[in-house]
Copies of this chain bind each other. A is one copy, B any other.
């Protein structure tokens, strides 16, 4: 029944136009949550940063938790492009080495955005929607790593994925505590050495 909603020359939908841009709001939210955490950034900080009052925020996003879910999805789309790293014709050790080194670089690149937003949020309380959603997104990415490794090492896919997942969580934690890029890279390379020992033991 919305056959006209994508037409370029269609008149704007009825009603007062929104006073802020949704994409800019998500970007701002992502920055704030990444610098702090879901719990540390209250609605007052969000609405201040967006220049709107609470009802406008809720009208647009429904709730803080739903807003966060959108932020998480947005972050996951842009972070560590698995599609470009886990290429089918690529040796797993090489691909995973690149993944871990990229994580090391990314997690320390911006002093205001240390670590990984998804992995940090995944550690929230079990009952919180924010943590539940972050965990789901994290596990979807882990599934892709497992499938990638299973192509060449089906019997090691789960253990390798566990190790990569745990290592990335550790890198994120260390980055949050202030570890700089070169030290994170050293950690990543040592982890890759462990991966090689595991995958080359065929």
Contact = CB atoms under 8 A, between A and B. Distances in A.
Nearest to A196: B197
Contacts of A176: 123
Contact of A193 (B119, B169, B193): B193
A184 B169 CA distance: 13
A186 interface: yes
A119 B176 CA distance: 12
Interface in A94-145: 119-120, 122-123, 125, 135
Nearest to A159: B186
A124 to B, nearest CB: 8
A179 interface: yes
A174 B166 contact: yes
Interface string A183-195: 1101100111111
A93 to B, nearest CB: 12
Given A120-B123, A123-B177, A169-B170, A190 B195 contact: yes
B177 A162 contact: no
Q: How many copies does the complex hold?
A: 2
A125 B87 CA distance: 37
A168 B167 CA distance: 9
Interface residues of A, number: 40
Interface stretch (A34-42, A61-69, A78-86): A34-42
A36 B120 CA distance: 15
A187 to B, nearest CB: 5
B159 A125 contact: no
Contact of A123 (B173, B187, B192, B195): B173
A190 B179 contact: no
A119 to B, nearest CB: 7
A150 interface: no
* Interface core residue of A40, A168, A169, A170 (most chain B CB under 10 Å): A170
A20 interface: no
